Structure formats: C-alpha cells, structure tokens
Amino acid sequence: MAEKPKTGVFYGWVVVVAASLILALQWGFDESFGIFFTELYRDLALTRTEVSGSYALFYIVSSTLGILTGRLNDKYGPRLMLTISIIVFSIGCALMSNINTLWQLYVVYGVIIAVGAAFAWVPVIATVCHWFVKKRGMALGVTKAVTGIGMFIMPPLSQFLIIKLGWRISYLIIAGLIFVISLPASRFMRLDPSEKGLYPDNMKGTAKNTGNDKRISNIRDFTIKQALRTKQFWLLLSLGAISALPFGIWVHLKAYMIGFGISEMTSATIIGLSGAAYVLGVLVISNLSDKIGRKKPLIISLLFMGLMMLWLMRAREPWEFYVFTVIIGFSWGGLGLFSAIIADWFGLKFLGSIYGMLDASWGIGAGISPLLAGYIFDTTGSYQLSIIMGAVVIFITAGLALLLKPPDEPASTVI
C-alpha cells in the first residue's frame, strides 16, 4: 500500500514545468518552420522540394540520434543532455540568419539544429516518466500541453518579426530567446526521484498502477533486448512511422493557405491556433487515458484527424482552416499517448533507450512526408494528392491501433 505523500509541492511537478518550458520553445521553433518556409524558397531562389529537404533531414537526424541520447540520458541524466541541446540549438538558430545557399540550409537546419533537438526531446519525456506512475498520463499531458503554448505563440510571433524585421533578424531574436530562457530552466531537471530522496508520485510504494490497459511494467522493467523481442515493440515502431506521414502537409500549410488568397499573418495565426487546441486536447485526452486506458482515446483521436484531412481537401476560406486547425490540433493531443504506452509497457530502467528507438520511427516518417509533399507540389502544382494520402494513412493507423495490447514476456535485469 502506498504511503501518504509528503507535504508541499512535489518536485516532480518542478521537473514538469522546467521540461515544458524547454520543449515549448524548441517545439514552437519547429512549428514555425512553415512560417519561414515561404521566405526561404523565395529569398534563396529554391524549390519547395529543396527547402522541404532540409526539414526532412532535420527530422531524420534528430530522431535517429534520439536512440543515442536516450541511452546517454539513462546514464548521465537530463541536465547534461539539455545543456548540450540548448547550446547547439541556439547556435544553429543564430546561424540560420546568415545562410545563403542550399547546402548551408541543410547543414545548419538539417544537422546542427537537429543535433540540438535530439538532446532534448527523448531525454525530457523519459525523465518525466521517471517521476510519475499513477499520474504519468497527466504529467506527460501537462508537459506536452505547455509545449503546445509554444506552438501557439511562436508561429504568429515569427510572422510578426518577419514582417517588421525580416526573416534573418527574426532567427537571431529567437536564438537569443531560446538560450536565455531554456538554460536556467535546465538546471532544475533531475532524472530520478531518488536524487531528491523522493518516490514516484510523491508516494512510497507506487510501483504499481492497475486498471489501465493491464500495465505490467511498473512492477518490472523490460531490457532493450527483451523489448526488441516483443511484437508490441515492432507494432509501435510501425505505428510511429505511419502516423507521422500526414505531418508533411503541415510544413506547407501556410503556403497552401496563401494560395487561396489568405494573408500571411492570418495564415500564421491559424497555424498557431492549433497549438492552443493541442494544449486542451493533450490535457483532456491524457487525463482521460489515466482513467479508461490509452487505446480508446488514441483511436478516436486518429479517426478525427483523418476526418479533418478530408475537410482540408475542401477548405478555401479562413473559417474553414480555423475549424481544421482547432479540431486536428485537439486530436493531435492523442498522439502523445504513445509515450505513455511505451513507459506503461516496457518500464523505466531502459526507457530512454527504448523510447529513443521507437521515436526514431516517427522522425523518419515526419522527415519523409514534407519532402514528398514538396515534390508532389513541384510536379503537379497542387497539394491535393498529399492531403488524400495523409487521410488514408491516418485511417490505416487507426485500424492498426486496434491491435495494441501489452506484452506478456517477463523481463529480466540484464541487457
């Protein structure tokens, strides 16, 4: 039986706030790529495919490096990982202000900024999971919800800065903002409650959480090799890659809306609104998943996302795009359940490593999709095929999610 929690603010929530702030800035910057997208291909005289390629490289590099940073976080903890992340990420953002050629864009955005991002996402999510068991869904939900605030603020802020100061100066300002705010926040991160003499959920004995999809790994941890031997690992790997494929149109959304005569500032505001909807969605869906399990909310979220992709095919007016971003942004909160499922099923001891491998599949899908969308536009002059493909893929993902069930194989203590 769990003992009563100690009084005062549980330090796990301090970790959540610090983690959220760092990810809010980095995700907000990532969300703003579509805002800078039109400036980059116009000023550098590049095709949409060429500019999309830098974003594809960014996701492939950052996600595959997540395998390494997950293991390093398990060994060295999040403070070192985030220090590296913030310094490298900020330098990359500053260098974006001085690029002039395609190869420079690929090196700076596709490699340098990607390396910085790789040292943040997986370590942060794995660390938050260490601090919570019974409230893991809520803690991850809060982390990603605050991240959504960054996604809400940064796109319109970036567009405002671009209009007033140009895209090069805008990159310098964002670089300074990320460095000045994120580095102090990273000092509050701790990998495990034991470093503060605490227990997960602030309650001694919270080693078990029942009632949510037969969670078994809060009692025993899967090793890396044992996780690889389960069918569930490979199903999650496939779902991650497939669910990311519709993401490509998001990078091109501002360009898509401008094509229908919608102003740049309105387009940026519409994109940012998805972040606000994501905040609400991730809080509601993650909290609900702690009560009824992860599977049903995940599938419902995917179905709504698929319907919104079909809606996007017919959208032409600003109000139609507002509807699209609000509903798909809210539903996007359901995709955050993947990280909770991984922690629920495979445990915490090797979570950084296991999560890093699974997150890599999502990154590869997210990397390929913008490149494909850019190529389709450059060859056909339209995004319609990309949108149709996105809708089909999301419905396939929802069908595959019906197969989700926890692994049965016992875990041992050796790799």
Q: Each residue of 100-116: pLDDT tens digit? A: 999 999 999 999 999 99
Question: Largest Cα–Cα distance in the chain?
Answer: 65
pLDDT for residue 188: 92
pLDDT digits (tens, 9 = 90+) for 311-344: 999 999 999 999 999 999 899 888 878 878 888 8
pLDDT-derived band at 212 (thresholds 50, 70, 90) equals very low
Instruction: Give the C-alpha separation, 214 to 212, whole Å.
Output: 6
pLDDT over threshold 70, residue 207: no
3-state secondary structure 111-165: HHHHHHHHCCHHHHHHHHHHHCCCCHHHHHHHHHHHHHHHHHHHHHHHHHHHHHH
pLDDT for residue 392: 92
Average pLDDT over residues 20-45: 91
In this structure, of 85-99, 150-164, 258-272, 285-299, the range with the lowest mean pLDDT score is: 285-299
Assign a CATH topology to domain 11-192+209-401. Growth Hormone; Chain: A; (1.20.1250)
pLDDT over threshold 60, residue 248: yes
pLDDT over threshold 80, residue 144: no
Closest CA to 236 of 342, 388, 337: 342
| Average pLDDT of every residue of the chain | 85
Question: For the range 320-323, what are the long-range contacts, defined as Cβ-Cβ under 8 Å and sequence gap of 24 or more?
Answer: 321/257, 321/262, 321/267, 321/270, 322/270, 322/273
pLDDT for residue 6: 57
pLDDT for residue 112: 97
Average pLDDT over residues 10-18: 91
For the CA atoms of the chain, what is the radius of gyration? 20
Average pLDDT over residues 205-211: 47
Instruction: Give the C-alpha separation, 57 to 270, whole Å.
Output: 26
Average pLDDT over residues 40-62: 91
pLDDT over threshold 70, residue 1: no
pLDDT-derived band at 347 (thresholds 50, 70, 90) equals confident
Closest CA to 373 of 53, 42, 45, 60: 53
pLDDT over threshold 80, residue 61: yes
pLDDT for residue 355: 76
Q: Where are the domains of the chain?
A: 11-192+209-401
Per the listing, tokens 């398990």 go with: 74
